[in-house]
Structure 1
Amino acid sequence: MSGFLGPLDADGRVPPQQQTRVAAFLISAHGALARQFALALPLRIETAWQTELNAQFYRESEIVSLLQRATIWVPDIALGYMAASWEAAWLPPPTGLTGDRSLAPSVNLATLAHAVHAAIRPAALLPTEASPADPFVLALRRIEFESGRLLQAQILFLKGPELLPFRDAVSAALEQRHNEVRRLWREMLASIGIDPRE
């Protein structure tokens, strides 16, 4: 196993089979976030944090759109089963927020977003000789850059004063989400011959 995508072709591009599998995983994760942000958006924005929800919805949608266009897609029989397991993992789990159930959907969404943006670092898989002119390479770098920016909003919410009484439950939910996202990411990478720990 390798720690990087490849072997690259003569033009420094990532193999299409790897592009397909990595892009499918990222589209599943960021698409789930986009759908959940869309459902969380009110019809009318009345508070500052709702403005951030709107911005995050559009950023997640842009990531999905970028990957759809920048990826060289090839048939992949295993994707049907894999995608079903990924989609099931993005569903909100039960939380321990017994004091205020209205916060549970927001906490579920923020913990998933935090895990996706913090635990998945696609650009770290690119070897140094990857072509800077390859749209897929540029897309992975752009996604990692955007993830760093989006992560700040999740941190502010999860460490905010309204969640102070539920700190233990939020920390447990966040840890569970991180473990699940990391496990799925590693399994997907292993299926294309990548060991991200190398």
Structure 2
Amino acid sequence: MSGFLGPLDSDGRVPPGQQTRIAAFLISAYGALARQFAFTLPVRLDAAWQTELNAQFYRETEIVSLLMRATSWAPDFALGYMVASWETAWLPAPIDGISDPRLGQAVHLATLAHAVHAGIRPAALLPIEANAQDPFVMALRRIEFESSRLLQAQILLLKGTDLAPHRDALTAALEQRHAAVRKLWREVQASIGIDAAGSE
């Protein structure tokens, strides 16, 4: 197994089968975030932190749109089962120590977003010889750049005073989310012949 995508074709492009599997996973993850941000946002923004949620909603949506257009799609009959398992993994789960449903949803969304943006590094899978002008290659690099920006916003939210009384529950939920996202990401890489340990 290799630690990178490939073997690349003569033009330095990632094989369509690998593009399809990677893009489908990323669309599932970022699409779930976009949907959940959309449902969390109120009709009227009453607090400053809600403006950041609004901005993140649009950024997650842009990532999904970019991947749909930049990917060279190929038939992948395993995707039906895989997507179902991914979508289940993104669902909210009760958080011990937080009984308020609204607060629980906010914590779930913040921890999931943090885990996705910190734990999924698609550009790290690109070999040096990848064609920098290829839309898929450019998309993966753009996604990683945007994720680093979005991660800073998640850190500010998670460290905010509103969540200070629930720090222990928050820390436990964050660790669980990171472990779950890392596991899924490694499984996706392994399914297309990538040694996840070598790409980290």
TM-score, structure 2 normalization: 0.97
What is the distance in 2 between the residues matched to 1:6 and 1:39? 38
Matches within 5 A, 1:89-168: 89-98=89-98, 100-168=100-168
**Structure 1 residue 97, shift from structure 2 partner:** 3.2
What is the distance in 1 between the residues matched to 2:155 and 2:55? 16
Listed one character per residue, the Cα deviations across residues 41-66 of structure 1 (whole Å, up to 9, x for unaligned) are 11111211111011000000000000
What is the distance in 2 between the residues matched to 1:98 and 1:80? 34
Partner residue in 1 for 2:184: 184
Which letter does structure 2 place at the counterpart of 1:146?
E
CA contact 2:67–2:139 (8 Å) conserved in 1: yes
What are the ranges of 5 or more consecutive residues in structure 1 without an aligned counterpart?
none
Which letter does structure 2 place at the counterpart of 1:190?
A
CA contact 2:121–2:144 (8 Å) conserved in 1: yes
Which letter does structure 2 place at the counterpart of 1:53?
L
What is the distance in 2 between the residues matched to 1:89 and 1:181? 8
Matches within 5 A, 1:1-198: 1-98=1-98, 100-198=100-198
* Runs of 4+ more than 4 Å apart: none
What is the distance in 2 between the residues matched to 1:105 and 1:192? 34
CA contact 2:8–2:14 (8 Å) conserved in 1: yes
2:197 aligned counterpart, secondary structure: coil
What is the distance in 2 between the residues matched to 1:45 and 1:166? 24
Which letter does structure 1 place at the counterpart of 2:73?
W
Provide the aligned length of Structure 1 versus Structure 2.
198
What is the distance in 2 between the residues matched to 1:59 and 1:98? 28
CA contact 1:122–1:141 (8 Å) conserved in 2: yes
What is the distance in 2 between the residues matched to 1:190 and 1:17? 13
TM-score, structure 1 normalization: 0.98
What are the ranges of 5 or more consecutive residues in structure 2 without an aligned counterpart?
none
1:92 aligned counterpart, secondary structure: coil
- Which deviates further from its counterpart, 123-132 or 39-48? 39-48
Which letter does structure 2 place at the counterpart of 1:42?
P
**Structure 1 residue 99, shift from structure 2 partner:** 5.6
What is the distance in 2 between the residues matched to 1:100 and 1:73? 42
Listed one character per residue, the Cα deviations across residues 79-108 of structure 1 (whole Å, up to 9, x for unaligned) are 000000000000011102336443110000
1:167 aligned counterpart, secondary structure: helix
Q: Quote the RMSD (CA, aligned, Å).
A: 0.9
CA contact 2:98–2:169 (8 Å) conserved in 1: no
CA contact 1:4–1:127 (8 Å) conserved in 2: yes
